A and B are shown apart, each in its own frame.
Chain A
Amino acid sequence: MSIIHFERVGQSFGDRTVLHDVNLSLTEHRIGIVGANGSGKSTLVRMINGLVTPTSGIVTVDGQNVARHARDVRRKVGFIFTNPDNQIVMPTVQEDVAFTLRRRGLSAAEIAERTAVALEQFGLSEHADHPAHRLSGGQKQLLALAAVLVAEPATIVADEPTTLLDARNARRISELLQTLPQQVIVVTHHLHLVEEFDRVIVIEDGAVVADGEAAESLAAYRALLQ
């Protein structure tokens, strides 16, 4: 598990301020982040992986400033995108999972072994040699998860991982995220996904408006939606 700090973090795109003066310490096992479209929640989690650099303040992961040590941080923090199609790089399922282990100084046998274990864990072994782009939406998101988890990151950040999935696949991904031993930070509109989480943060207009236990934060968010 990683210890993630946001210290007076702000983000602007031109004249538009997306986040202002965010202070957070993320240390829990499972953390949910909810908020309306355009509230700044995706920008917030992208900063953990260094995909977005804050215009003010700093984000640290285990004491490392993400802006300065992005490569090291990315080895600890895996990122799952909303659309798995954008995350698949290699033509076949097996090759895409193995792709994550490139440049890690592993032998071909080690890569093959770890890839096989990851595919087995996500029920993709029988699709190992199949074209990745022909998988179903749910299977693609499972592949995206397998491709991230094969690198054994300490933290998984998932940006709306169930938005494009049907109810069945959304539940499957949701159950998987609940059982991972890694620290899991999930941005979602599916509130049931984070109901059992240790902590839920509500973002509104670029600021944290509720932060605490899931039931409490979700009640605050529902009240906000009224």
Chain B
Amino acid sequence: MIGLYSPGTSLIHRAPTLLKLLLLSLCVLLIGTSSDPWVASGAAAGVVLLFLIAQVPLRAAVAQIAPILLILLVAVPIQGLLSGWTVAALMAGRLIVAVALAALFTMTTTVTAVLEAFQTLLRPFNRFIDADRVGLLVALTIRCIPLVSDIVREVLEARTARGTRGSPLSIAVPVVVRSLYAADALGEALIARGLDD
């Protein structure tokens, strides 16, 4: 979701966010609980079809799914040796389909749409939970990931430029300090933009 949204006007892009969330949850539940290889195969075919309908860039889609393949490179042989190759293949299929579905959701749904869906879901609990505040919290969390990632990169670059090789603590301390400064500045910006309550 951090810059993963792929703009488009496909049916999947236009579908209501709550419906997409519901279908995503149901599909992952079904795939996760079924031990029938035909269900996994059908789900895989369905996912390919959904990606074709969404018309998201192939490279971006592969980039989303690739990390799970690296994990499976280790997990599948272990599972195969312990529980048999059919079980290992089924596990791999389930994971790939679930991750692909989640990736499709993030690539076709804006953060604002997700926040609005959260607010709709939390509306019945308005007496106990401030849905708007929860939405803002989620948005800020998503926003802070690239911010902290940039801080880590800059600290590592500064270390390289100075030709030093410090302990993990020598990275952690400046990262934490700079993150706190950034959080302070972000808080100030939120106040300036009228979100001061």
Contact = CB atoms under 8 A, between A and B. Distances in A.
Given A86-B189, A91-B111, A95-B110, A75 B139 contact: no
Interface in A65-109: 70-71, 74-75, 78-79, 81, 83, 85-92, 95, 98-100, 102-103
Given A95-B112, A98-B112, A103-B194, A89 B3 contact: no
Contacts of B2: 91, 131, 133
A218 B5 CA distance: 48
Contacts of B112: 90, 95, 98
Contact of A74 (B3, B132, B146, B192): B192
A183 B191 CA distance: 21
A89 B110 contact: no
Contacts of A129: 5, 7, 110
Contact of B189 (A71, A89, A91, A151): A89
Interface of A: 49-51, 70-71, 74-75, 78-79, 81, 83, 85-92, 95, 98-100, 102-103, 129-131, 133-134, 147-148, 151
Contacts of A98: 112
Contact of B193 (A91, A95, A100): A100
A91 B3 CA distance: 6
A224 to B, nearest CB: 30
Nearest to A144: B189
B36 interface: no
A95 B116 CA distance: 12
B56 to A, nearest CB: 13
A83 B139 CA distance: 20
Interface stretch (B97-105, B156-164, B180-188): B180-188
A89 B193 contact: yes
Given A133-B146, A133-B147, 9 more contacts: A50-B191, A71-B197, A74-B191, A79-B192, A81-B192, A87-B192, A88-B143, A89-B189, A92-B110
Nearest 5 Cβ contacts at the A-B interface: A131-B3, A86-B185, A129-B7, A79-B192, A133-B146
B150 interface: yes
A90 B185 contact: no
Interface string B100-132: 000000000011100000000000000000001
Nearest to A81: B189
Nearest to A151: B194
Given A90-B112, A131-B3, A74 B189 contact: no
